[in-house]
Structure 1
Amino acid sequence: MHRGKGLKFVGDSRVTDPSSRKKKTPKDYSEYPGKTEAFWPDFLLKEWLVGAVFLVGYLVLTVAHPSPLERPADPTDTGYIPLPDWYFLFLYQLLKYEFASGPFNIIGAIVMPGLAFGALLLVPFLDTSKERSPWKRPLPTGFMLLAIASIIFLTWESVANHDWEAAKAQGEIREEVEVEIDETAPGYEIYQNGSSCIGCHGNAFEGGIGKPLIGLEYTAEEIVNIAHEGIGTMPGGTFQGTEEELQQIAEFITTLQPVE
């Protein structure tokens, strides 16, 4: 063996120069079209900033326009028309059209919304293109624009055609009025059990779609005449009963006076 032969130096990676080590950089996604950036912190920071802006906007909106407080729910008030929150108004409007209401209610309530939301779930599987530009993806872009336009149009129609004054009146918190009610009176029993008046005027005479019956400045004869001929928006001839029963109810209503 010659001197110096067979002796080799093996470098230890644990003691190599730190400056020569490779930096930990995010994976290069440049093969995908569009802008590429690191998820942390660049992309995630932008997402947080956008989310914070929207959160502050919602907080300001809720403080400036708090949710309205309506009177307690009354199951006997058949005239009350519930209205969904603003983000469901487009579905509420859809159910007003002939092709999505009445016998076709199942189409407007389940089939059409189900197809729309189901299509959104299937988008990642139906559109596998790597393109990010909306102009190079005409079908997904077209369907999305159609959905947005439909939602905006239906929401606008719902707001424009809704009677907001009537909605405010029907949900208005009425001041509680103390009144002594003789529950043994024949007129009370007929009103509660055998008349059609309770559906509009409430089981406690507090009113609903019809006016309250407490403190009316009418005589019994005038109340009977109103039941026959109607008054204002109240139609006539809606009482279901005999003339004797109507007279008893009218006389009972005249006794409904607020307690001083």
Structure 2
Amino acid sequence: MAHHDKDKEVHFVGDSRVRVRKEKLLPKDYSEFPGKTEAFFPNFLLKEWMVAVVVLVGFMALVMAHEPPLGEQADPTNTSFLPVPDWYFLFLYELLKFKWASGPFVVLGTVVVPGLLFGGLFLAPWLDRGKDRRPFKRPAATGIAILSLVAIVALTWVAWDEHEKQLASQPKGSSEDAKIVNPQDPAYEIYKNNACVNCHGQKLEGLQGPALTGIGDAYTPEDIIKIMDEGKGQMPAGMFQGNAEEKQQLAEWLAEQDPPKEEESEE
């Protein structure tokens, strides 16, 4: 049974009691309103999906065309190995080299600064709710985004540049190629058990500090002890933690380290 409204007449299909629906079940044509909006499904979603497909295909083409380089295998005996994180974490790796973000302030560099960076990115839709989409109309959000991007790019570039310089400063060949004079001397164990090995390497090949192969050709034991006590260059004073006897023993052993002969280096 059909009900008639006072203000609206009800129409039926033929002799049935099925009401005639004049409105069409189609999305609105937003071409009549340029620059306003459009239907999310399927118009907007289809365009976003097509853009995502193009980006994904391009990315996969680059991946297949350029194989990712594999680093050296982990070797606990190779002290010349310089580990670095993946490229997208290089800016955090470089950030931890600053004094205010390492040592006693390491929580600041590992938790606070990254937390503010990624937390701000996550909360951006709620923090910046302006209706204007032009970047120059949103100076706070645009400025923070540009500053963050510049900082990430600069720190990444500096970290990689330093890594390349460290690799270039290492002697060619593996650490096993370095020749050590009298490796059975107890002084070699004193050397390996002190902080010397962290900068000069297990085989005296030099890591963050200069190589010690051939140091006996330039310094006497007295000179070496003076360097241990007073420091030199980037080496601070008082790095050697052993007693006076061990210091003398180590200095005499280092003074025996002559530079490799040309015949040996060619072989």
**For each residue in 1:127-166, what CA deviation from the matched residue of structure 2 results, as whole angstroms up to 9, or x when unmatched?**
667x4x414995xx43431222112331354336954652
**For each residue in 1:65-113, what CA deviation from the matched residue of structure 2 results, as whole angstroms up to 9, or x when unmatched?**
9557468566885x98765555445555656667656655534442343
Change over 3 Å in CA distance of 1:227–1:181 after alignment to 2: closer
Identity of aligned residues (%): 26
The question of 1:10 aligning with 2:4 is answered no
The question of 1:118 aligning with 2:119 is answered yes
Give runs of aligned pairs for residues 144-159 of structure 1, distance below 5 A. Answer: 144-158=141-155, 159=157
Give runs of aligned pairs for residues 46-61 of structure 1, distance below 5 A. Answer: 46-53=48-55, 56-57=58-59, 59-60=61-62
Structure 2: runs of 5+ lacking an equivalent: 1-13
Q: Is the 8 A contact 2:200 2:208 kept in 1?
A: yes
Quote the Cα distance in structure 2 between the aligned partners of 1:183 and 1:25: 86
TM-score normalised by length of structure 2: 0.56
Give runs of aligned pairs for residues 1-260 of structure 1, distance below 5 A. Answer: 9-10=15-16, 25-26=26-27, 34-37=36-39, 39-40=41-42, 43-53=45-55, 56-57=58-59, 59-60=61-62, 63=65, 66-67=68-69, 69=71, 72=74, 84-88=85-89, 90-91=91-92, 105-125=106-126, 131=131, 133-135=132-134, 141-158=138-155, 159=157, 163=162, 165-169=164-168, 174-175=173-174, 176-177=176-177, 184-193=184-193, 195-213=194-212, 216=214, 218-219=216-217, 222=219, 224=221, 227-228=224-225, 241-251=246-256, 253-254=257-258
Q: Is the 8 A contact 1:205 1:213 kept in 2?
A: yes
Quote the Cα distance in structure 1 between the aligned partners of 2:102 and 2:259: 44
Q: Secondary structure at the match of 1:209?
A: coil
Q: What RMSD, in angstroms, separates the aligned Cα atoms of the two structures?
A: 5.4
Q: Is the 8 A contact 1:200 1:209 kept in 2?
A: yes
**How many residue pairs end up in the alignment?**
238
Change over 3 Å in CA distance of 1:89–1:198 after alignment to 2: closer
Read off the aligned partner of 1:147 and give its amino acid letter.
I
Q: Secondary structure at the match of 2:202?
A: coil
Q: Secondary structure at the match of 2:208?
A: coil
Q: Secondary structure at the match of 1:34?
A: coil
Higher mean C-alpha deviation, range 37-46 or range 148-157:
37-46
Read off the aligned partner of 2:16 and give its amino acid letter.
V
Structure scoring higher RCO (CA < 8 A, sep ≥ 6) equals 1
TM-score normalised by length of structure 1: 0.57
Q: Secondary structure at the match of 2:177?
A: coil
Q: Is the 8 A contact 1:70 1:172 kept in 2?
A: no
Structure 1: runs of 5+ lacking an equivalent: 1-7, 14-19
Change over 3 Å in CA distance of 1:104–1:196 after alignment to 2: closer
Cα offset for 1:247? Answer: 1.1
Quote the Cα distance in structure 2 between the aligned partners of 1:82 and 1:198: 16
Cα offset for 1:36? Answer: 0.2
